[in-house]
A and B are shown apart, each in its own frame.
Chain A
Amino acid sequence: MSQSIAEVQNEIVDEFSMLDGDMEMSIGYLMELGEQLPPMAEELKSDDNIVKGCQSKVWLNAELKEGKIEFEADSNTAITKGLVSLLVRILSGRTPQEVVDSDLFFVDKVGLNRFIGTQRSNGLGAMMKQMKIYGLAFSAKAGA
Chain B
Amino acid sequence: MSKTLTGVKLDIEGIRKEFPVLNQEVNGKPLIYFDNAATNQKPQRVVDALVDHYKKDNANIHRGIHTLAERSTAAFEDTRKVIQRFINANEAEEIIFTKGTSESINLVASSWGRKFLNEGDEVLISTMEHHSNIVPWQLICEERGATLKVMPINEAGEIVIEELDGLITDKTKMVAFNHASNSLGTINPVKVIVEKAHAVGAKVLVDGAQSTSHLEVDVQDLNVDFFAFSAHKMYGPTGLGILYGKRTLLEKMPPYQGGGEMIKDVSFTKTTYNDIPYKFEAGTPDIANVIAFKKAVEFIEEVGKENIAAHEKELLDYATAKMESIDGVKIVGKAQDKVSVISFQVEGIHHFDLGMWMDAKGIAVRTGHHCTQPLMDHYGIEGTARASFSVYNTKEEIDIFVEALKDTISKFR
User: B350 and A28: CB pair below 8 A?
Assistant: no
- Name B's interface SS: helix
Contact B368 A76, beta carbon cutoff 8 Å: no
A55 to B353, CA, bound (A): 10
Is the Cβ of B28 less than 8 Å from the Cβ of A77? Answer: no
The smallest beta-carbon distance between A130 and chain B, in angstroms, is 19
Q: How far is the CA of A44 from the CA of B412 in the complex (A)?
A: 25
Q: Which residues of the other chain, A, contact B24 by a CB distance below 8 angstroms?
A: none
Total A-B residue contacts, Cβ distance less than 8 Å? 40
Asked if A24 meets B352 with Cβ closer than 8 Å, knowing A31-B411, A55-B368, the reply is: no
- Which of B353, B355, B367 has most A Cβ within 10 Å? B353
Give Cα distance in the complex from A87 to B99, angstroms. 41
A27 interface residue (CB < 8 Å to B): yes
B284 at the interface (CB under 8 A from A): no
* CB-based contact A23/B27 at 8 Å: yes
A92 at the interface (CB under 8 A from B): no
| In the assembled complex, A9 has its CB within 8 A of some CB on chain B | no
**Interchain CA distance A70-B129 in the complex, whole Å:** 45
B156 at the interface (CB under 8 A from A): no
**B368 pairs with A27, CB closer than 8 A:** no
In angstroms, Cα B357 to Cα A28, docked, is: 9
Per-residue CB contact flags for chain A residues 71-104 toward chain B (1 = under 8 Å, else 0) read 0000011111000000000000000000000000
A19-41 contact mask (Cβ, 8 Å, vs B): 1 or 0 = 00011101110010000000000
**Assembly CA distance A122 to B352 (angstroms):** 8
Q: Which of B361, B368, B412 contacts A24 (CB 8 A)?
A: B361
Chain B residue with Cβ nearest A54: B368
Check A78 against B368 for contact (C-beta < 8 Å): no
- Contact A27-B356, Cβ < 8 Å, known A55-B367, A77-B350: yes
- A contacts with B, residue count (CB < 8 A): 18
Q: Measured between C-beta atoms, what is the minimum distance from A112 to chain B in Å?
A: 12
The answer for the CA separation of A31 and B28 in the assembled complex, in Å, is: 21
> Do residues A76 and B350 form an inter-chain contact, with CB atoms below 8 A?
yes
In the complex, whether B383 has a CB less than 8 A from a CB of chain A is: yes
Q: What's the minimum C-beta distance from A84 to chain B, rounded to whole angstroms? A: 13
Min CB distance B81 to A, Å, is 40
Q: Apart from A23-B360, A56-B352, A79-B352, what are 19 other A-B pairs with CB-CB below 8 Å?
A: A22-B28, A23-B28, A23-B359, A24-B27, A24-B360, A24-B361, A26-B360, A27-B356, A28-B411, A31-B353, A31-B411, A55-B351, A55-B355, A77-B353, A78-B350, A79-B356, A80-B352, A121-B352, A122-B352
